[in-house]
């Protein structure tokens, strides 16, 4: 690797870590705002999204510049390709956090509705997935990435249960339909964050092992290590 290429990849890593931090903070704020219906915190999530968007655009431009100027190969090329995909998924996670915050802003101005399902457990699982995923990227720990990958099924199942619960509640309490729809939107965006976090975990696995694990058998591939 040439000195200039090495320097630019190191700069790229720092930029990606900065974006990771911004996105994690945005998701954390959105979750707290959702659980407490804190409209000020929700508005902060919406306001901070411009910074995430700016970082994402700069990261993509940097990746394209490195590809054009240095034509990297092997491990360097794999890192840059993974960085571009992770960059895009982080920005989309930020968008989902904004969607949750906007639902909070709406619900905070409406009569309180007893929300169904276990939102607390779902938010904690999503938060843990994102934390583990970012730790896996920082430490280049493939086992952490696989843990995240396996956790996605739990969030998917919770969202399906929330959908069924909302269906039942709509018939029982039609006057709560507005709040129930907003609850379902929050659940869907949490599930989306988990999906995007899983995408990043898959990119980390590809980066470290050169293995594509997107194709699954009965939910998960048999090729990954067993996670306790």
Q: In this predicted model, which residue has the larger pLDDT, 113 or 87?
A: 87
Supply the CATH number for residue 200's domain: 1.20.58.220
Residue 209 phi/psi, 5-degree rounding, is: -115, -10
Cα–Cα distance, 81 to 75 (Å, whole number):
10
Range of the domain at 105: 3-209
Is the pLDDT at 168 greater than 90? The verdict is no
Is residue 102 in some structural domain?
yes
Q: In this predicted model, which residue has the larger pLDDT, 98 or 165?
A: 98
Is residue 105 in some structural domain?
yes
The owner of tokens 């904690």 is 124
For residue 158, give Cα distances in angstroms to 28, 98, 114.
19, 21, 18
- Mean pLDDT computed over every residue of the chain: 87
Is residue 43 in some structural domain?
yes
Is residue 63 in some structural domain?
yes
Is residue 146 in some structural domain?
yes
- pLDDT, residue 209, reads 87
Is residue 70 in some structural domain?
yes
Is residue 22 in some structural domain?
yes
Is residue 223 in some structural domain?
no
Cα angle 94, 36, 178 (rounded to 5 degrees) comes to: 80
Is the pLDDT at 91 greater than 90? The verdict is yes
For residue 6, give Cα distances in angstroms to 12, 58, 60, 76, 217.
10, 18, 18, 9, 39
Per-residue pLDDT band for 15 (boundaries 50, 70, 90) equals very high
Q: Looking at the 3D structure of the chain, how many domains does it have?
A: 1
Is the pLDDT at 152 greater than 90? The verdict is yes
């Amino acid at each position: 690797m040439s000195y200039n290429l090495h320097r630019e990849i190191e700069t790229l890593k720092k930029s990606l870590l900065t974006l990771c931090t911004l996105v994690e903070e945005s998701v954390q704020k959105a979750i707290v705002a959702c659980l407490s219906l804190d409209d000020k915190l929700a508005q902060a999530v919406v306001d901070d999204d411009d910074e995430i968007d700016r970082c994402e655009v700069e990261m993509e431009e940097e990746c394209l510049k490195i590809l054009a100027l240095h034509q990297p190969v092997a491990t360097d090329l794999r890192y840059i390709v993974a960085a571009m995909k992770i960059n895009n998924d982080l920005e989309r996670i930020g968008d989902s956090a904004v969607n949750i915050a906007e639902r909070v802003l709406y619900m905070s101005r409406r009569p309180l509705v007893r929300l169904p399902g276990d939102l607390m457990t779902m938010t904690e699982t999503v938060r843990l997935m994102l934390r583990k995923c970012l730790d896996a990227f920082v430490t280049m720990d493939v086992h952490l990435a696989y843990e995240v990958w396996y956790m996605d099924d739990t969030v998917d199942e919770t969202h399906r249960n929330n959908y069924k619960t909302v269906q039942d509640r709509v018939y029982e309490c039609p006057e709560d339909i507005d709040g129930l729809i907003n609850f379902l939107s929050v659940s869907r965006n949490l599930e989306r964050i988990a999906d995007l976090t899983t995408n990043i975990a898959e990119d980390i696995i590809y980066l470290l092992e050169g293995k594509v694990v997107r194709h699954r058998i009965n939910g998960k591939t048999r090729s990954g290590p067993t996670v306790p």
